[in-house]
């Protein structure tokens, strides 16, 4: 039976560390400040944004909230991003996605100053990750690496299979693993014989968004399984959140496994706070 990787517990530890850093920075006159921009009235985005702001405030990070109507034009949003880029008091900028359909998300990502890009999605930060500079990398993959570190899971020389190649999760995760000397196979919707690929993995990470895609035959005995998926399904008339991995059979074969919820999920906000503090530090002490 696999050991459960407790993301809630590790996230609490990370948040306590970040809180201590915030205190030290403030003593030295640096106030980490996160600007959060929300466009439109999407209820899920509203909840994500307020959770992030609440957690940031709890540990002493200042927040600035900018809520813009759905009708905002892309150029108006870019003007706000430019103002935040120039504002010396703002350490990090988070524009909540998805944006309304009339906006191009790439334009907005690219407009954020790379040193304030706490989501780690600016092409400059993506490029830095390729060259081994991990100052600002996307929060979810950074959180996964921290979980693996906390459970002393060796990566060097191991075969890691990542299913899903999004810019937010799969691709940066593959590079973070490569930087730690894993041998990485990156799979996606066109990968042939997916379960055979997956079954070769010492570390199997799944970020697809399809409930219970990964069955028992995808998992090598003793593999470490990281389930990133968050899927809301209805089962026996009840709404349930499940991952991309069929948990019960996987738990019997794996050596370590993340539950959903309570595995990777809680790490994402913790890493956003860490990125904000790292951005503030870097801006205060550029070298």
Binding site residues, ligand NAP, CB under 6 A: 140, 163-166, 168-170, 187-191, 194, 207-210, 213, 228-231, 264-265, 268
State the nearest-atom distance from the C-beta of 139 to ligand NAP, in Å: 7
Residue 175: closest CA among 210, 128, 143, 222? 128
Contact 267, 234 (CB under 8 A): no
Buried residues in 65-97 as b, exposed as e (16+ CB within 10 A): ebebeeebebeebbebbeebbeeeebbbbbbbb
Q: Any idea which residues carry the catalytic annotation?
A: 52, 96, 119
Residue 175: closest CA among 112, 120, 110, 231? 120
Question: 35: which strand partners?
Answer: 64, 93
Of 91 and 268, CB closest to ligand NAP: 268
State the nearest-atom distance from the C-beta of 243 to ligand NAP, in Å: 8
Q: Residue 223 and residue 36: Cα distance in Å, rounded?
A: 38
Of 72 and 258, CB closest to ligand NAP: 258
State the nearest-atom distance from the C-beta of 229 to ligand NAP, in Å: 4
Of 83 and 200, CB closest to ligand NAP: 200
Of 80 and 163, CB closest to ligand NAP: 163
Which burial class, exposed, middle or buried, applies to 23 when counting CB atoms under 10 A from its CB (0-12, 13-18, 19+)?
Answer: exposed
State the nearest-atom distance from the C-beta of 27 to ligand NAP, in Å: 32
């Amino acid at each position: 039976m696999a050991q459960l990787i407790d993301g809630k517990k590790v996230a609490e530890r990370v948040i306590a560390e970040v809180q201590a850093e915030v205190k030290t920075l403030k003593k030295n006159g640096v106030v980490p400040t996160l600007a959060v921009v929300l466009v439109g009235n999407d209820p899920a985005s509203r909840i994500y944004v307020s959770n992030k702001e609440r957690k940031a405030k709890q540990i002493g990070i200042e927040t600035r909230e900018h809520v813009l109507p759905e009708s905002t034009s892309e150029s108006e949003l870019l003007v706000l991003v430019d103002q935040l880029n120039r504002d010396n008091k703002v350490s990090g900028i988070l524009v909540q996605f998805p944006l309304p359909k009339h906006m191009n998300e790439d334009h907005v990502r690219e407009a954020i100053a790379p040193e304030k890009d706490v989501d780690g999605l600016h092409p400059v930060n993506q490029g830095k990750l390729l060259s081994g500079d991990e100052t600002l990398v996307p929060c979810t993959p950074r959180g996964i690496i921290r979980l693996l570190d906390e459970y002393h899971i060796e990566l060097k020389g191991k075969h890691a299979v990542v299913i899903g190649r999004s810019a937010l999760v799969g691709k940066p995760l593959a590079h973070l693993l490569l930087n730690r000397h894993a041998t990485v196979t990156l799979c996606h919707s066109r990968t042939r014989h997916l379960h055979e690929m997956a079954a070769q993995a010492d570390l199997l990470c799944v970020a697809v968004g399809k409930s219970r895609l990964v069955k028992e035959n995808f998992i090598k005995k003793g593999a470490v399984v990281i389930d990133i998926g968050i899927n809301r399904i209805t089962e026996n008339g009840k709404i349930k959140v499940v991952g991309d991995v069929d948990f019960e059979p996987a738990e019997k074969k794996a050596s370590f496994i993340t539950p959903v919820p309570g595995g990777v999920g809680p790490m994402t906000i913790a890493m956003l706070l860490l990125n904000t503090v790292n951005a503030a530090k870097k801006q205060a002490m550029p070298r």
